[in-house]
Amino acid sequence: MIARAAAEGEIARVRALPWGIGACVRQTPERGRTQRPGVFFACRTPPMQDAEDGYRYWRYVEASEDGGIVTEDLEMLRRIDPSGLTQADAEGIDLERAWRMAAADIVAAHNARADLRSRQERIGPRQRWALDLLRDPAVALPEGADLADEALSVERSSAVRRALGEVGSALDAGDITRDEAAVRIVAVVESFGLGPVPPPPLPRRIEADEVGVVCWMGVLPPG
């Protein structure tokens, strides 16, 4: 839809749309059999030090009493795809209830992001294992261990974590000693060209009334 708007010269008009704009569509019987109706919210937090435009959060709140909240982008895009659907009015949508649920979930996710412990959890078990070994006073550290420690103190790619996992597996199998594992960890860091990266500042915690709705879309059940 964005690409089509750009091709048709509509980007300026789209950018000028007010925050909080919304619309509703009605599912076809076929769509209704596979997807629950609900309300989609595209939201953004206030500007913060580490994100000048704030953070982007999407949520799809299912309309049923036992409905949940969808947070996966691709699944939300699948549910709000308007192809073949008809425009409808908002009657029958408890927009306020859906918004309260979405806002509460966004606040919880954002404030978890603002917790230092969540950053440490994102490093993953393999990086934490490597850091613990490099910080073990009983291990004879090779040259470059200090830089490797700094480089692994921020979240790294799956390829790096996989390489560290191979070192850990060799240690568990008894093929290498802990001193040799330290050498290999440093070698992994050097092979990927990793260097110290200062972690971005943690975002501040927010309240529900600070979450701004960019736009919303109601998806009604078949008529």
Q: Where are the alpha helices (DSSP H) in the chain?
A: 2-7, 11-15, 29-34, 73-80, 95-113, 116-123, 125-134, 145-151, 158-172, 178-191
Say what the pLDDT of residue 89 is.
Answer: 85
Say what the pLDDT of residue 201 is.
Answer: 78
**Could you give the CA distance from residue 145 to residue 134 in angstroms, rounded to a whole number?**
7
Higher pLDDT residue, 77 or 120?
77
Q: Which residue has the tokens 């199998």?
A: 173
**Three-state secondary structure call for residue 49:** coil
Say what the pLDDT of residue 120 is.
Answer: 67
With cut-offs at 50, 70 and 90, classify the pLDDT of residue 1. very low
Say what the pLDDT of residue 119 is.
Answer: 67
DSSP state of 193: T
Model confidence at 14: pLDDT above 80: no
Beta carbons within 8 Å of 173's beta carbon, 6+ residues apart: none
Higher pLDDT residue, 18 or 168?
168
Domain locations in the chain?
Answer: 21-115+204-220, 123-191
Tally of helices (H runs) and strands (E runs) in the chain: 10, 6
Tokens coding 117: 């412990």
Say what the pLDDT of residue 54 is.
Answer: 85
Say what the pLDDT of residue 7 is.
Answer: 64
Beta-ladder partners of 48: 51
Give the torsion sign (CA, 103, 107, 109, 110).
Answer: positive
**Could you give the CA distance from residue 62 to residue 47 in angstroms, rounded to a whole number?**
29
Q: Give the tens place of pLDDT for each residue, 182-217.
A: 999 999 999 999 998 877 777 889 999 999 999 999
**Could you give the CA distance from residue 134 to residue 167 in angstroms, rounded to a whole number?**
13
- Residue 211's closest CA among 91, 47, 44? 44
**Three-state secondary structure call for residue 114:** coil
Average pLDDT over residues 70-92: 90
Say what the pLDDT of residue 6 is.
Answer: 54
Which range among 17-21, 126-130, 145-149, 161-165 shows the weakest confidence by mean pLDDT? 17-21
Strand 21-26 to strand 212-220: parallel, antiparallel, or no bridges (unpaired)? parallel
Say what the pLDDT of residue 194 is.
Answer: 95
pTM beyond 0.85, yes or no: no
Q: Give the tens place of pLDDT for each residue, 100-148.
A: 999 999 999 999 888 877 666 678 899 999 999 999 999 999 999 999 9
**Could you give the CA distance from residue 185 to residue 168 in angstroms, rounded to a whole number?**
9
Which range among 2-16, 68-82, 125-139 shows the weakest confidence by mean pLDDT? 2-16
DSSP state of 210: G
Give residue 88's identity as a one-letter amino acid code. Answer: A
- Residue 73's closest CA among 60, 54, 55, 85? 60
